[in-house]
Amino acid sequence: MRIGEVCRLSKLSRQQVSSYCMYGLIHEAERTPAGHRLFDEKVLRRLELIRRLHKHGYTLRDIREIFMRDKR
């Protein structure tokens, strides 16, 4: 799905979704030949997790560290 659909379904702005990409919290699944970012369904679960953690007082830096620890 394109970023617009991700924004609509997650109720986040395009700027928030783009910021989360730049910060390494979410990742695009692929790009179209025209350069449009495409995301899979997993990104919606990740965005919900980010929202919940942020609501409980975690900073984006904290969340990124949690996600990096989970990769190990």
CATH number given to 3-71: 1.10.1660.10
Domain boundaries, the chain: 3-71
4, pLDDT greater than 90: yes
Indicate the pairing of strand 37-38 with strand 30-31.
antiparallel
pLDDT tens digits for range 17-68: 999 999 999 999 999 999 999 999 999 999 999 999 999 999 999 999 999 8
Q: What is the pLDDT of residue 70?
A: 76
**Cα angle at 60 between 47 and 11, to 5 degrees?**
30
Mean pLDDT confidence for 6-19: 96
* Predicted pLDDT at 72: 63
Please give the pLDDT value at position 28: 93
Q: Mean pLDDT throughout 1-26? A: 95
